[in-house]
Amino acid sequence: MGKKRKILYAVLNWGLGHATRSLPVIRRLAFNNDVTILSTGRSLEFLKAELPDLEFIDHEDYSVRYTKSGFSMIPYMAFQLPKIFLRLKEEQKYTEMLVEKYKFDRIVSDNRYGIYSESIPSFFITHQLRFKLPGQLSIFERFSEYFNKFYFRSYRKIFIPDAEKPPCLSGVLSHDLASIQRTKLVYTGILADLDFEIEPVQSDYLIIVSGPEPQRSIFEEKVRAQSKLLKGKIIIVCGRTEERKVGSEDGVTVYSHASRRELFAMMKGTKTVISRPGYSSVMEIVSMNKKALFIPTPGQTEQEYLADYFREKGYFHSVTQEKMDLATDVIQAENTVCSLDMIPNDISGMINEIEA
């Protein structure tokens, strides 16, 4: 039987979270369809390694930069907005060229707002329908829905990897919406790339370093220094996809990078995960029923909100990167029991929508 659709699947290169959560969707789509992946940077290299039989297109996204000071993130982001909007316009023009050249008949975009076509059905994946803003700027959060509403008009459906009703993971990021058309929203349940048949790698603490630079490197430096004070077997995965090194420092095993299979084995065998509260990481941790300590990326308001939200709900303990003291923070994390029971990857309805 021939392939059903020619699908262009776009993934934002903002850490590896968008790439990892897209894996179960891409794999399901690739059963019956010809799938081409569009991404860039570390996300592209990661997806090439995980899905070597698929076709790939390297196209730069918005290249959002971070500063070393989380306090200056918002004005720094605002300064980059003109460049971002120009990239969005270029991205959409480029997409129309790809559709014409390769005869795609479906598009799925994980958070790349300019990857859609006016001529074929396009679908968008996001858990952030409202953008979190710090301090007094929070009064403008409702207006961020209008940004999404403007771009969502070009997509047939918006897939949200969360439950529609409590208990849920994304809180106000994708619930209690004021302006976005409800008929366009499809709550898919959580997405997580899992392989429960894999042999676990046992440890007491698995520390996963991730996120955009320079904060990824700052976080790596801090956890390397503080991990020496933890008791038990410790593994650190640094998230540097350009390297493949394994070493030992004061009894701590350090991987420059780990494949999905390797990382899942480590997550399966650890007692406690220490990581950013990136939404994809959270979905995996919940799926595996693990305890966790979350340290949000400074200035990344979405992660800061999620860390606070989980702590207030009693799901997971969290601490800021500035105040992080692993030796004491892990004690609170181990005494916090997550009561969520969410089944991942129930995506048959999502696949049917795309293939229809």
Rounded Cα distance between 307 and 312, Å, is 9
Rounded Cα distance between 249 and 252, Å, is 5
Which residue carries 């971070």 as its tokens? Answer: 66
Query: In angstroms, what CA-CA distances link 324 with 165, 225, 313?
Result: 33, 11, 20
**Region of 229 on the Ramachandran plot (φ > 0 left; ψ -120 to 50 alpha; else beta):** alpha
Task: For residue 335, count other CB atoms closer than 10 A to its CB.
Answer: 9
Tell me how many degrees the CA angle 321-326-262 measures, rounded to the nearest 5: 90
Compute the average pLDDT of residues 245-274: 91
Residue 79, pLDDT score: 59
Name the segment(s) of the chain with CATH classification 3.40.50.2000. Answer: 6-190+345-355, 203-334
In this predicted structure, the answer to whether residue 340 has a pLDDT above a threshold of 90 is no
Residue 270, pLDDT score: 97
Compute the average pLDDT of residues 77-92: 79
In this predicted structure, the answer to whether residue 246 has a pLDDT above a threshold of 90 is no
DSSP 3-state assignment of 272? strand
| The pair of three-digit structure tokens given for residue 249, joined into one six-digit string | 């420092």
- Tens of pLDDT, residue by residue over 104-131, are 999 999 999 999 999 999 999 999 999 8
Compute the average pLDDT of residues 246-260: 87
Least confident interval from 5-14, 70-79, 157-166, 250-259:
70-79
Q: Is the pTM of this model over 0.85?
A: yes
Beta strand pairing call for 34-39 and 6-11 = parallel
Are 207 and 227 a contacting pair, CB within 8 Å?
yes
- Tens of pLDDT, residue by residue over 215-237, are 889 999 999 999 999 999 999 99
The CATH code belonging to domain 203-334 is 3.40.50.2000
Residue 80, pLDDT score: 60
- Tens of pLDDT, residue by residue over 3-52, are 789 999 999 998 788 999 999 999 999 999 999 999 999 899 989 999 99
In this predicted structure, the answer to whether residue 353 has a pLDDT above a threshold of 50 is yes
Residue 200, pLDDT score: 96
Provide the mean pLDDT of the chain.
90
Give the 3-state DSSP-derived string for 215-270, with helices as H, strands as E and coil as C: HHHHHHHHHHHHHCCCCCCEEEECCCCCCCCEEEECCEEEECCCCHHHHHHHHHHE
Compute the average pLDDT of residues 61-78: 58
DSSP 3-state assignment of 65? coil
Residue 72, pLDDT score: 47
Secondary-structure class of domain 6-190+345-355 per CATH = alpha beta
Alpha helices in the chain (DSSP H): 17-32, 41-50, 73-102, 141-152, 215-227, 260-269, 279-287, 301-313, 326-334, 348-355
Question: Which residues on adjacent β-strands are paired with residue 34?
Answer: 6
The size of the chain, in residues, is 356
Are 76 and 301 a contacting pair, CB within 8 Å?
no
| The pair of three-digit structure tokens given for residue 260, joined into one six-digit string | 């999905």
Residue 190, pLDDT score: 96
In this predicted structure, the answer to whether residue 73 has a pLDDT above a threshold of 60 is no
